[in-house]
Structures are given as C-alpha cells and as structure tokens.
Amino acid sequence: MAENPFFAPSDLPYELPPFAEIREEHYLPAFRRGMAEQLAEVEAIAGSTEPPTFDDTIAALERSGRVLDRTATAFFSIASSNSSDGIMEIEKEISPELTRHSDSIRLNRALWARIKQVTTSDPEEAWLLQKYREDFIRAGADLSETEQARLRELNEELSRLSTEFAQALLKAATEAALVVKDPAELDGFDQARIDSLRQDDGTYALPLLNFTAQPALSQLTNREVRRRLFELSVGRAPGNFAIAARMAALRAERAALLGFPDHASYVVADQTAKTVEAVEEMLGQLVGPAVRNAGREAEELAQQAGFPIEPWDWPYYSEQVRKARYDFDDSAVRPYFELERVYRDGIFFAAGKLYGVTFEERSDLAGYHPDVKVFEVFEEDGSALGLFLLDPYARANKRGGAWMNNLVDQSLLFGLRPVVLNNLNVTKPASGPTLLTYDEVTTAFHEFGHALHGLFSKVRFPRVSGTSVPRDFVEYPSQVNEMWVTWPEVLANYARHHETGEPMPAELVEKLTAAETFNQGFKTVEYLAATLLDWAWHRLAPGEEVADAEAFEAAALERAGIAVPQVRPRYRTNYFAHIFAGGYSAGYYSYIWSEVLDAESVEWFKENGGLRRENGEHFRRELLSRGGSLDPLSAFRNFRGREPRIEPLLKRRGLD
C-alpha cells in the first residue's frame, strides 16, 4: 500500500493528519508496519555493543515509532469522535496487538539493562530518564519470565475488555435513548430542540449523554417521562457490570504481581498523591460536609415539589428553586451564549488578554468531520504557535462527554509544533444558532484549558509534552481556565444576545454569579460517590471476586457514607468510562485533587489583578509550558510560591 498516508509525515501545515486522504483500509497496514519498524528500532538500541548513553538509548527510544505514533493518534481520535462499524472492528482487532507490542518493548531485558546504565547531568534528561525507569519497572521489567508471561496475558485481556466496555457504551447511547411518539411528552424543551430530535419514522429520540443526571431532567415537566429517562440512563449497557467486575479482578492480580497490595496503590504511586492514605485523607474531609449540604438541599426541594423527591426530580426542582431564588434559569441566559461568540469573544478573547495569542480560522484545512473547525494560533509577535481544532456537536457515533487530545505532540526533538483537539457534545440545532447552557459554556472554557496546556508546551521530548503529566495534575490547568467564564471583562465581551447583540443585563449577570455556588451539595455528593465507587473497585485485594456488581456498588456507597438516595453517583459502574475505558482507573479522585491546586491558583490570580498579561505569562512560563518535564508539584510551587492548601477549595464549595 505505497500511498498509505501514514507511511510518511503529513505535508499539511503543522503535520495535521490528512483526514481527507485517510480511509479505513489504511489503518491496519499502518499499525502493523509501524509496530514492526519500532520493534526493529528497539532491537537496534538494545543490541548495541557501545556503552549506553542518554542519546543512543533514551533519546533513541523517543525517536522510535513515528509511523505507529501518527497512525494511533489519528485512529483513536476517530474511534472516539467519528466512529463506524469498520472502525470498531479495527479497534477490537488492533487493541490486543498494541498491548502485546508495548509489552514486548517494556519487557525487553536487554533494553532494560541498557536503560539502567544510562547517566546524565542535564536536569530535563535526568527527569525523563527517571520516568523511563519508573515506566519499565511498573510495566514488569524486573519480573521473572513466568511472571512476565502472566503479565502479558493480563494486559491483553484488560485491553480487550476495555474496548468491549467502550463499544457497548457507545451503542447504548442510542439503543437506550428515550423515544416518544407524542412531542407533548417533551414539554419543557423549546420547539427547535424538539425538532432536532425528530426521527424519520416520526418519533422523537433523546440520546443519552454519558452521566447519570441527564441535562434534560432539569427541563422536562412530565414526571413520568423524567423517570423513564433516568431509568434508561442508570440501566444502560447492563452487560458492562460483568466486564467491570472482571477488569477489577484482573487489575488486582496485576497489582499483586508488580508488588502492590491493590490496583489503587499501584496507580497512586505514580501520581502526585503518592499514597492511598493521602487520597483517603483528602476525600474524608469532604464526605461529611457534602452529605450534610445535600440533605439540606433535598429538604428545600421537597418543600418546592410538595412531596419527597426522587433522583429524577432533583434536577427539575433544583432548577425551580434556582429560578425562585435567583429569578433566572438556563432559558434566560442561553440567548446570550451563542457558540461561535463564546469562542471568538470569550475563550479566545481571554486567551489573548492573558497570553497574547490570536486565532485565525483556516477554512482551507479539514478535520475528520464537516463539523470540525480548524484555527491557526499565533503568538503576540505574529509567529506561528500551532493549530486548534474544535468538534462541538454530539453525534450518534461519538462518545459522550468532553475531552481534549493532541493530534501532534509539541517536541523540540522533532521540531514539531502542537496540534490540539477539543471535543464537546452540544446538541446541534436543526436550524439557527447554537445556544449553550451555562454548564456547556463552563465545559468549553474547561476543555480549552487543556488545549492551552498542549499549545504552550515547550519541551524537548514527546514523552513529557503538553498534558503528559500525572492524572491527578492534568485537570488542574483546565479547571483554572474556568475562572474566566464569569470574569466581568470576559463575560461582558461574549455574553451578548444572539439576535440583538445587546449585552447580558447587569441584573442577570449578578444572578448568574450569585447562583454559582447553588446546588453544591448535590454536585459534590454525585462526584464523590463516583470517586469512592472507583476507589472501592480498585481497592479489591487480589483474588477477591465480585459476583454481583450492582450489590457491590450499593454496599460500597453505604460503607463510604455517601449513599444519598436522591443523589446517585455521577457515573455508575456500567457506564463509568473514565475508569473502565478511559485510563482513569483509581484516578477519578484527580478532579477534586486538582481542584485543590485550582482553587489556590484562582486565589493567586485574584490577588494579583486577574486578567493581566504578566499574570498569564507567569502561569505559562512556570507551569503550562513545562508539560511533564519536571515534578508537577515543583511546577506548582514555582508558580504559587508555596505548598498547596485545601482551605480555598472548602470555601469555594461551601464546605468550610
């Protein structure tokens, strides 16, 4: 296949993958050639008879596998964002092969022997060398032949099960959709939203988003319809319960093989938290206050409803209370949050004020779907920085949630500038402008914080580029970027009526900002419940089997003191993609761990005048540009000037 677009670097600007040329039949040959080439490169490194140096061993490993990297980056972006039956079949076939390939490198004894002999006095090289040694040890490089053989089996089965979990969940988004024949059952939606849900057979289908409390629950007036939607949400993909239980058992066995008492201990040893005790201490400070706050909120909602509320009632009646208390709801603010203006005059505007960057749409460059927009990013002096791609709309073949990933990693080693992608899951209107909810605006700013982390990366090696940091640190810069959503100068610039251009009225702005702390009991409990569910699955001891995953889930929540009947976990086991298909196993705590750093940083920005170039430059220089090239908490201390404290977070969430 001489014309396979993956066999040579893309000739598009910034080496943007040539999506217009890529066809499904290109992937498998490119994957297999890429793996073969990298194995040959690794064998040459391992078989060298020269004394090992940083350049001929570690840097050589960084230079290896370019065809494989290009192929995998494009493929897994498509598998998440624009999948198909063909893509899903390729993913099933190639995932175990990729796992075997990774194991063949990390378990190469000759290669490991050379890595152990490398020395360097350069600080960035020394940090990368340390990361490589940790990677190899954690991958089983020091195990016996018999132990390594079992480890390979475990890794391969886990890879296969993770793919099955993700694909079942993708299908469930539409297979478990709420379907109604009478549009009157969708009362609470505006006509444009109802029209967008109409199917060819005349029914109306509301697909599921990937969390428990579907946003539509806050709008639908029919209680029975809300109940049906909620039960579809929590009951989707039931086969995933068994997959999750099996994965948890395999992870526990693998942890024991690698010398850890459980999977959570294995995971956090490589994070900023370092120990399970540190995580549990932090979570323990939050559970009691959060549950008490949620209890008070439930009493208020019951008074509003006139009856004890159920989980499917909470979003609806909390919206009613918010309307009564703050005299506004999402329908009042949505006309001021038009998608393009949110980005152009909000997100890009704030980035320009803080970092001096500008964005120019490149209509001559294509993404993998017509909805994807491509922007070139420039520094203040006009020099090129990279590309930013935005894929805002939900699709039946796109996984739920919102995320960022790199299409090209910044690297001084290869002279590559970054290409980053943000995915949202906003409902595309049948016609007219795309109007966002306040939560969707916040999500857009959040994901763009990840994008900035990738765009501002300035490191030598791809292994530590951009967001290649511990999971309990990676959410921190993105959470900081949320502070600009309601920053007066930014909000005034983008929150304008989509028809009249009039700015959001001052009284509505006041109500919006005053309402930011509303419903924090619910939000904190649903998050903590998911976090502690993740923790329970991954604190299982080796050999501890779970026969009934749903019963295990209920018992785990009770044991953790977080079982609030009206507030279910943000994700149940059967659709907890973060931990069973997304690399966050025993790591969902990282959002709240990162929020400790975030709350500290927001306090710093406010103390230093907020949206100022010198503030942005300090944050960029000390933290965003460093990627994973130094200890993350050292980067935080360099920025903040001291160790992190939990008090700003407790105050923010009303838990102090």
Residues with catalytic function: 447
How is residue 530 written in tokens? 């998911």
Tokens of 616: 């942005």
Dmax over CA atoms of the chain, in Å, equals 80
The answer to whether 654 and 293 have CB atoms below 8 angstroms apart is yes
584 three-class SS: coil
Cα distances (angstroms) measured from residue 640 to each of 351, 604, 645: 20, 7, 11
User: Which CB contacts under 8 angstroms, 24+ apart, belong to 645-650?
Assistant: 645/596, 645/600, 646/282, 646/285, 646/596, 648/596, 648/599, 648/600, 648/602, 648/603, 649/592, 649/595, 649/596, 649/598, 649/599, 650/285, 650/289
Q: In what order do the strands lie in the sheet with 403-408?
A: 358-361, 373-378, 384-393, 419-426, 403-408
Tokens 């944050």 found at: 619
Alpha-carbon span 152 to 161, nearest angstrom: 14
**Residue that is written with structure tokens 């960022």 in the block:** 404
Angstrom distance (rounded) from CA 574 to CA 238: 6
Query: Rounded distance, CA 343 to CA 360, Å?
Result: 12
Instruction: Tell me how far apart the alpha carbons of residues 308 and 299 are, in angstroms, rounded to a whole number.
Output: 8
Q: Which helix (H) or strand (E) holds 423?
A: strand 419-426
Q: Exposed/middle/buried for 650, CB within 10 Å: 0-12, 13-18, 19+?
A: middle
Count of residues for the chain?
A: 656
Which residues does 34 contact at the CB level (< 8 Å), separation at least 6?
6, 65, 66, 67, 68, 69, 70, 71, 72
Rounded distance, CA 599 to CA 595, Å?
A: 6
Q: For the chain, how far is it from start to end, CA to CA, in angstroms?
A: 63
**Residue at 385: amino acid letter:** L
What lies within 8 Å, CB to CB, of 263 at 6+ separation is 248, 251, 252, 254, 255, 538, 539, 540, 585, 586
Tokens read off for 503:
């700015």
Helix axes 24-46, 66-81, angle to 10 degrees: 140
Q: How far apart are CA 568 and CA 530, in angstroms?
A: 8
Three-state DSSP string of 120-181 = CCCHHHHHHHHHHHHHHHHCCCCCCHHHHHHHHHHHHHHHHHHHHHHHHHHHHHHHCCEEEC
Enter the tokens of residue 3. 């014309």
For the record, the structure tokens of 19 come out as 């999506």
